[in-house]
């Protein structure tokens, strides 16, 4: 979740066929919540998310150890069936945080961390919107707009330079 920004329900609905190993992307196609599979939250939530090589390697290792089931889920329970969201937290996330000596956070905080790092790395608001699966750029700005604030230092000089250039004058 930290490397993809997926919602908890999207992680639980992920199937092995949703991973494109050749292009290092995963396709968000469904969500699992309240004991059933659903279409994604919005049309824009159906998306392709690039994933780093380190996560591809981890997923390949996990695929060998992952419990098999009819649904071919990436994160199933021990019998290969859909995992209970509570177990995802209490048997997965929280123990991992304790081992890493990190404070306990909500699953959704991983999604916010993903978006925050995209913004800190200079990704455009439109890229952030697309990767997060937000229905509009307004949603992205409503949640993360404060992070896009840049310095106004030099704005007037850059504007003056561009407006007074020979190309503009001609």
Residue 41 falls in the annotated catalytic set: yes
Residue 7 falls in the annotated catalytic set: yes
Q: Which of 27, 33, 41, 46 is catalytic?
A: 41
Cα gap 41→30, rounded to integer Å: 8
Cα gap 27→47, rounded to integer Å: 6
Q: Which of 29, 32, 114, 144 is catalytic?
A: 144
Q: Which of 7, 29, 30, 47 is catalytic?
A: 7
* Count of Cβ atoms closer than 10 Å to residue 45 Cβ: 20
Q: Which of 30, 32, 111, 114 is catalytic?
A: 111
Cα gap 13→29, rounded to integer Å: 8
Residue 111 falls in the annotated catalytic set: yes
Residue 90 falls in the annotated catalytic set: no
**Residue 49 phi, psi (nearest 5):** -120, 125
Q: Which of 60, 63, 106, 108 is catalytic?
A: 108
Q: Using N-to-C axis directions, what is the helix angle for 125-132 and 107-120, rounded to 10°?
A: 160
Residue 134 falls in the annotated catalytic set: yes
Supply the residues annotated as catalytic. 7, 41, 108, 111, 134, 144
């Amino acid at each position: 979740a930290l490397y993809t920004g997926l919602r908890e329900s999207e992680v639980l609905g992920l199937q092995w066929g949703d991973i494109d190993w050749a292009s290092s992307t995963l396709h968000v196609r469904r969500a699992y919540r309240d004991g059933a599979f659903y279409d994604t939250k919005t049309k824009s939530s159906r998306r392709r998310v690039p994933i780093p090589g380190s996560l591809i390697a981890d997923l390949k290792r996990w695929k060998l150890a992952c419990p098999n089931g009819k649904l071919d889920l990436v994160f199933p329970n021990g019998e290969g069936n859909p995992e209970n969201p509570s177990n995802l937290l209490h048997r997965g996330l929280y123990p991992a945080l304790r081992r890493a000596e990190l404070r306990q956070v909500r699953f959704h905080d991983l999604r916010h961390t993903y978006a925050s790092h995209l913004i800190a790395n200079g990704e455009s608001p439109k890229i952030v919107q697309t990767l997060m699966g937000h229905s509009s750029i307004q949603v992205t700005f409503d949640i993360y707009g404060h992070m896009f604030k840049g310095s106004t230092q030099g704005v007037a000089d850059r504007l003056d330079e561009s407006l007074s250039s020979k190309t503009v004058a001609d």
